[in-house]
Amino acid sequence: MSPRVLGLIALVATVIIDQSDKVWMLFVYRISEHQPVHVGPFLDLIVAWNPGVSYSLLRATTDVERYLLLALAFTAIVLLFVWLWRARSRTTAFALGLIIGGAIGNAYDRWAYGAVADFFRFHVGDLSWYVFNLADVAIVAGVALLLLESLFPTAFARPKRHEDPVLSD
């Protein structure tokens, strides 16, 4: 499978999984009526609307600010897609597909709902440090793969195929 195809599959799968999870949590399960749902000692399910980017940085409180964040996301998506299209490594392409898919999922939320829907809250007691969604997981996993590939290139290098020499008479 070519790197492009693998990256596109990762992209589409990420968007589908992320948006399916968000639709289910918001409209089928109706998490806002059940929150918090304690999944484990450090994890709850809640709904938190993030009007900014990571950790609510660059909070978009007006439509103009929201459209500026959407324009920034669109620009990043286009540039990352160009990188994906040129990628020669399947690891790079897969990682970029995860990142782009996550960015598209979060951008769609911002466009459709005015903010990004986050559901998973890590905490210790009352100390809560991060609420995230599956798009965020894909973005972090993609960035981690890119970092690992750049730090340990031989571990991710594709073995070269050894072809038998053509025997001639």
Catalytic residue among 18, 44, 136, 164: 136
- Answer whether 29's CB lies under 8 Å from 37's CB: no
Cα 27 from chain centre: 22
- Answer whether 49's CB lies under 8 Å from 32's CB: no
Catalytic residue among 109, 118, 164, 169: 118
Active site residue 126: no
| Helix ranges, the chain (H) | 3-23, 31-34, 63-86, 90-113, 134-151, 153-156
Active site residue 118: yes
* Cβ contacts of 118 within 8 Å, gap of 6 or more: 47, 48, 49, 50, 131, 132, 133, 136
Handedness of CA 7, 8, 13, 14 (dihedral sign): positive
Residues annotated as catalytic (active site), given as ranges: 118, 136
